[in-house]
Amino acid sequence: MARKEFQIPDMYKSPIIRKVKEATKITDPMKKDLEPTLLDFGAVQFYIPRFFGFCYGVENAIDIAYRAVDEHPDKNIYLLSEMIHNPTVNENLLSKGLQFLFDTDGTERIPISSLNSDDIVIVPAFGTTLEIQDQLKEVGIDPYEFNTTCPFVEKVWKRGKQLGKKEYSLVVHGKHQHEETRATFSHSAEHSAVVVVLNPEEATILAEIMLNERPDSDFEKYFGHKSTPGFDPHKDLKRFGVINQTTMLATETQEVMDILKAAAIKIHGETDILNHFADTSDTLCYATNENQSATLELAKTDADIALVVGGYNSSNTMHLVEILEHSFPTYHVRDSGEMKSESMIHHFNQWKKEILKTDGWLPKDKTPLKVALTSGASCPDILVDEVLLRVLEFFEDSKEVDEVIEKFEDSQN
């Protein structure tokens, strides 16, 4: 099946990175080669991963949102919340007169009850809750008319519903306050008992409760605020499956599954495990897998530093940073404006949850300087171009861009 073609605004299109991506599609049509591409500017060399940037779900969301704006210039148009976690895209939509109904944490900005049936509401790529869907219907707005929910998020919901019909409970691997996890929790709670776990450490706590190695009171302590009312870990986890927030680390989701499956085997035995633990590996998003696999290969290079471009509330971007920071100094920047000078950079630290100012970030004693450069799934490639060009500004003797990307243009002819 041919991949759907989306209409992406020209301002997000990239003259540099786009040519690299188009060239690798030609040289590796089966997507088997994860080796990063080298852009050699002489004084600076950039390692570009095989997969990064806009995914199918994000392109779909942008296509629908901008089409709604173009086709309905006289209507009030609202976004439920940030359409995707990229400030450049959201700020541009707001500049066109769109308004947010909610903040990303769910705080109401504009009451849905104040809207009417002539208004347009765009559901974000993360999806939304059944409660909000019902509120929109009450004021005469079809929540599915401009629904940009990622197809892979909907796939997770569908798989959860299938399990619910078979009387499985659900464990959601995700960040319980993230819009996508809130939506997945809402859809799942319609048919199943649900609990959210953040990471393997929390999965271990849940497993120990299942095995009576921890008191039941620990369930309320760790999971009471992110589980369906009356969730009983001993009764509800006799038969369960693990689904996920699609932007989580795929390796971590697998680890969560393995920990909980091992606990179920201890309780029920190996031979009968399929009646107690559902195989849900098919809910992992292909784009998340590709991007993370490509980033793992990027981490194997001999780069001196890494730059990761993306929104500071972007979960998938944070996981790329998490992969790379084990290998070299890694800076998460929203755009080139954070690179204040060759000595000062502003960047987000997800562990401290704050923007740091780091002096001496750019090693000038390396010849050449090797930079691993990538971006999150909601980041336009043009922002990656701008970061690349900003780094080159700090090196007077670097090659011209046209000279470096010429070979990529030749490969397409």
Residue 346 dihedral angles phi and psi, to the nearest 5°: -100, 130
> How far apart, in whole angstroms, are the C-alpha atoms of residue 93 and residue 160?
33
**Three-point CA angle 105, 107, 108, nearest 5°:** 140
The alpha carbon dihedral of 402, 403, 404, 410 has a sign of positive
Task: Report the run of H or E that residue 130 belongs to, with start and end.
Answer: helix 130-138
Q: What kind of architecture, by CATH, is found in domain 158-284?
A: 3-Layer(aba) Sandwich (3.40)
What's the gap between Cα 339 and its chain centre? 23
How confident is the model at residue 412, as a pLDDT?
58
How confident is the model at residue 6, as a pLDDT?
86
> Do the beta carbons of residue 389 and residue 15 sit within 8 Å?
no
> How far apart, in whole angstroms, are the C-alpha atoms of residue 250 and residue 54?
18
Nearest partner of 309 among 54, 59, 63, 58, judged by Cα: 54
Would you give the DSSP letter of residue 123? B
> How far apart, in whole angstroms, are the C-alpha atoms of residue 349 and residue 228?
32
Where do the H-state alpha helices sit in 299-396?
315-324, 381-392
How confident is the model at residue 407, as a pLDDT?
84
Which listed CATH number (3.40.50.11270, 3.90.79.10, 3.40.50.720, 3.30.50.10) goes with 56-138?
Answer: 3.40.50.11270
Q: Do domains 56-138 and 158-284 have the same CATH topology?
A: no
How confident is the model at residue 239, as a pLDDT?
97
Nearest partner of 190 among 246, 262, 130, 279, judged by Cα: 130
Cα distance from N-terminal residue to C-terminal residue, the chain: 25
Ranges of beta strands (E only) in 158-265 are 169-173, 194-197, 240-244
**C-alpha distance from residue 3 to each of 18, 20, 55, 133 (Å):** 17, 19, 12, 29
Every domain of the chain and the residues it spans? 10-55+287-410, 56-138, 158-284
Which listed CATH number (3.40.1010.20, 3.20.10.10, 3.90.76.10, 3.40.50.720) goes with 10-55+287-410?
Answer: 3.40.1010.20
Residue 162 dihedral angles phi and psi, to the nearest 5°: -60, -40
How confident is the model at residue 1, as a pLDDT?
36
By CB atoms closer than 10 A (0-12, 13-18, 19+), residue 155 is: middle
Whether residue 180 lies in the annotated active site = yes
Active-site residue (options: 180, 290, 322, 338): 180
- pLDDT of the chain along its 413 residues, tens only? 345 778 889 899 899 999 999 999 888 888 889 999 999 999 999 999 999 999 888 999 999 999 999 999 999 999 998 888 899 999 999 999 999 999 988 899 999 999 999 999 999 999 999 999 999 999 999 998 998 999 999 999 999 999 999 999 999 999 999 999 999 999 999 999 999 999 999 999 999 999 999 999 999 999 999 999 999 999 999 999 999 999 898 889 999 999 999 999 999 999 999 999 998 876 778 888 899 999 999 999 999 999 999 999 999 999 999 999 999 999 999 999 999 999 999 999 999 999 999 999 999 888 899 999 999 999 999 999 999 999 999 998 899 999 999 888 765 55
